Amino acid sequence: MIKPHGSDTLNPLLVTDEQQRQQLLLEAEGLPSVVLNSAAAANAVMLGAGYFNPLTGYMNLADSLEVAANLQTRDGLFWPVPVMNLVEDISAISGAERIALRDPNTEGNPVMAIMDVDAIEAVTDAQIDTMAEQIFATLDPEHPGVATFTGLGRHLVSGNIQVLSLSYFQADFPDTFRTAVEIRNEIAERGWQKVVAFQTRNPMHRAHEELCRMAMERLDADGVVVHMLLGKLKKGDIPASVRDDCIRKMVELYFPANSVMVTGYGFDMLYAGPREAVLHAVFRQNMGCTHLIVGRDHAGVGDYYGAFDAQTIFIEQVPAGALEIEIFNADHTAFSKKLGRVVMMNEAEDHTKDDFILLSGTKVRQMLGDGIAPPPEFSRPEVAQILMDYYQLETA
């Protein structure tokens, strides 16, 4: 199986020995503590679950600046996005060497992790802006990732952590949330060698379904891991539970048995386009996938990134040998009325836009809200029904 990023074996930071975990929880009650923001909590989940291997905790300011500028830590570890714990108010932890980190997304703010504090550093507005522009390629406050990042706080708390909880994800998504360790184990159990990862924050329509099928066939892969984001999205995006139902129905009805794993991970969407695509590659390698599908405007939002920026970054900025996972580059896919099937648009000769069934996201949402199913060439009827039920409840 493909090696994890940066080490020979996967080293998740979640404490799995229950006796040790209880001892640490007891210790945590006597430690100074801070309630994390959602972004830092998501980082803790990813560290705990092994997705951010080989990191052992939150980056300090020097490493964060280096990663934002040059996609590597000061000691040369390739990494595309700073993994930070930015805090607004440090009064409760100032001077502490060991602290408890509390979950902002669960009632009562239970302890998520214990941290050995290496440093608490002030971060200037200029440093935040510099990193934001390097990560997101814009400082536009309307960009949801920029708006979140620049509002997280101006104190950076760094150091190694022991993760005691993966927040609400295991309880809310027991059939879908999986750690990188669990996905690696299931890939091994299924006997898969060549494995394609498909990233999604949306329900899967026919184009997505066929893209997974194309990648599997062209790569002669054993299977696809559909890996959906279960954390926070921007306003208007479809909730994870609805997406989960849609994807499971599609896989159940339209894919052969033992060809698709439906899984999810606990992270907040960054909307960082190319940089986030590279982060997706890092943690898909950690979970055992050999290939990642990268399509048009992967992890993008609005018009901030070029259609294929998330593909060219792997050629122009990722050093040779930095990652073992390979990228399956994809163009926009759509149903061809001429050919009677879903194709990559750049591979369809003698086609104009009118030869494809193309619907904007706005148009699809309007149809679903009105109880009108998109054409079956665009969306499987069973998936459309789940979405119509959701939108009609939302607009009732």
Q: What residues are annotated to the active site?
A: 201-202
Q: Which residues contact 191 (CB under 8 A, 6 or more apart)?
A: 222
DSSP 138-162: ---TTSHHHHHHTTS-SEEEEEEEE
3-state secondary structure of 318: coil
* Of residues 256, 231, 288, the one with CA closest to residue 53: 288
Structural tokens at position 292: 């990642």
Q: Please work out, in degrees rounded to the nearest 5, the angle formed at the alpha carbon of residue 256 by the alpha carbons of 254 and 258.
A: 130
Distance, in Å, from the CA atom of 238 to the CA atom of 225, rounded to the nearest integer, reads 20
H/E stretch holding 87 reads strand 86-87
Q: Is the peptide bond before 376 cis (omega within 30 degrees of 0)?
A: no
The 8-class DSSP code of residue 2 comes to P
